[in-house]
Amino acid sequence: MDLRPQDLLKEIKSGRLRPVYYLFGEEASAKAAALDALKAHFKSDAFNLVEFSGDPDQEAAAVVSECSTLPVFAERRLVIVANPKIPAAARAALAEYLKDPLLSTTLVLLSEDRKPDAKDALSKAASAAGALCTFSPLREEEAVERLKAAARTAGKVLSDEAAAALVAEAGTDWGVLSQELEKALLYAAQKPSISGADALAVLGYRKAADPFALSRMIQSRQLKASLIQARRVMSEGKADEQAFRVLSQINSAVTKQLKAKRMLKAGLAPDAILRNLRLNAWYDKDFLAQAQKLSDQRLLRDLKRCLETDTDLKSKAWLDPRIELERLVVDLCRPDYLAAARA
């Protein structure tokens, strides 16, 4: 069966664990937190916790052997296959074991795939014997709401402006966002709420920058200004880390334009659209006019290019993130007729 991440955490707390959990998705920090929760629940010692991180083909027989071993002075045994790339032979061996798994063992498999493959025998076997759990990246609006909820739990009110600034700069990975929120909570320790200015003040080396600048330049398809801003952000840290921050801002800019066009077609008033998209009536006063200049086909094509760049950067380690991001910016800022000819 399919299990939501929050339901997996509930199962771990309850102690009613399954013979196997197969963890998918790109939200690495949430996946790691779930794995840590499993380890903490088991309180496993060297006898009842075994983690494999080498070549799955070489270790498949040993994994099955450990899974088939009864726990020592404990009720359950935890076996983890940490390598996210399991070759065909190992997948077959694990799928065969899962036809009749030992109920006192919990096997955890990790995958970097966005979601399970319905045709994959191992995914089918894991679903039948236990559960598949997909850790999808948070959408921008989900990240904003989660930040505000976490701030409330800590006894603070996080303003819409502050939450939007944190997401715009840090992206939607909860591991990164929670660290930025922690800094904001410490900075505003003597205040009842965290303002946008407070959030910008704790964004480290980025505190002097406008976290919405690149998004606004992309929305107006300013090629030169967008390239300069993207290069500035890329120069502020490690290229592979900054690349996904830049990509998140670009993707968010295009997504908001497409959403705005659809809201206009549905008859929503301009001020309602700006509120819905968490935009500023003054700073984003040209947003709707810029969005209306672009066709739905163009915006869908631009979103597809963002997805292609994201996939390439995650799957092709030899690519230079700076070059790929600049190629994306150039493609998105081409005049519409050139982009149409290229598609």
Residues 224 and 309 in one domain: yes
251 and 339 housed in the same domain: yes
Q: What is the pLDDT of residue 250?
A: 93
CA 190 to the chain's CA centroid: 32
pLDDT at residue number 208: 41
Question: Does one domain contain both 63 and 129?
Answer: yes
pTM: 0.57
| Per-residue pLDDT, 260 | 94
Q: Report pLDDT for 110.
A: 92
Question: Which of 159, 187, 211 delimits the end of a domain?
Answer: 211
If asked whether residues 248 and 311 sit together in one domain, one would say: yes
Quote the pLDDT of residue 79. 94
Q: Which of 109, 134, 159 is the last residue before a domain boundary?
A: 134
Residue identified by tokens 């939007």 is 164
If asked whether residues 239 and 300 sit together in one domain, one would say yes
pLDDT for 207 equals 39
Asked if 54 contacts 83 with a C-beta cutoff of 8 angstroms, the reply is: yes
Between CA 193 and CA 201, with CA 199 as vertex, the angle to 5 degrees is: 120
- The Cα–Cα gap between 103 and 76 comes to 8
Q: What pLDDT does residue 341 have?
A: 42
Residues 126 and 38 in one domain: yes
My answer on whether 144 and 61 are in the same domain is: no
Give 230-235's long-range contacts (Cβ < 8 A, gap of 24+): 230/325, 230/326, 230/329, 231/322, 231/326, 233/209, 234/321, 234/322, 234/325
82 and 22 share one domain:
yes
Residues 283 and 219 in one domain: yes
Domain total of the chain? 3
Q: Which domain holds residue 276?
A: 212-343
126 and 145, same domain (yes or no): no
Looking at the structure, tell me whether residues 200 and 287 fall in a common domain. no
**Are 278 and 161 contacting, i.e. CB atoms less than 8 angstroms apart?**
no
Which pLDDT value is given to residue 292? 92
Tell me, what CATH number does 207's domain have?
1.10.8.60
Give the side-chain half-sphere CA count within 13 A for 226.
24
Query: Within 10 A of 5 (CB to CB), how many other CB atoms are there?
Result: 18
* Cα 67 from Cα 105, distance rounded (Å): 6
Distance CA 299, CA 295 (A): 6
Do 66 and 126 have their domain in common? yes
Tell me what pLDDT residue 339 has.
47
Other Cβ atoms closer than 10 A to 41: 17
Residue 294 to residue 117: CA distance in whole angstroms: 35
- Out of 72, 105, 134, pick the residue that ends a domain: 134
Per-residue pLDDT of the chain (343 residues; tens, 9 = 90+): 788 888 998 999 888 899 999 999 877 778 888 888 888 887 767 778 889 988 888 999 999 999 999 988 888 899 999 888 899 999 999 999 999 999 999 999 998 888 888 889 999 999 999 999 998 878 888 889 989 999 999 999 999 889 988 887 777 777 778 888 998 999 998 999 999 888 888 775 443 456 678 888 999 999 998 998 888 888 877 777 788 888 988 999 999 999 999 999 999 999 899 888 888 776 788 899 999 999 999 999 999 999 999 999 888 888 999 999 999 999 999 876 444 444 4
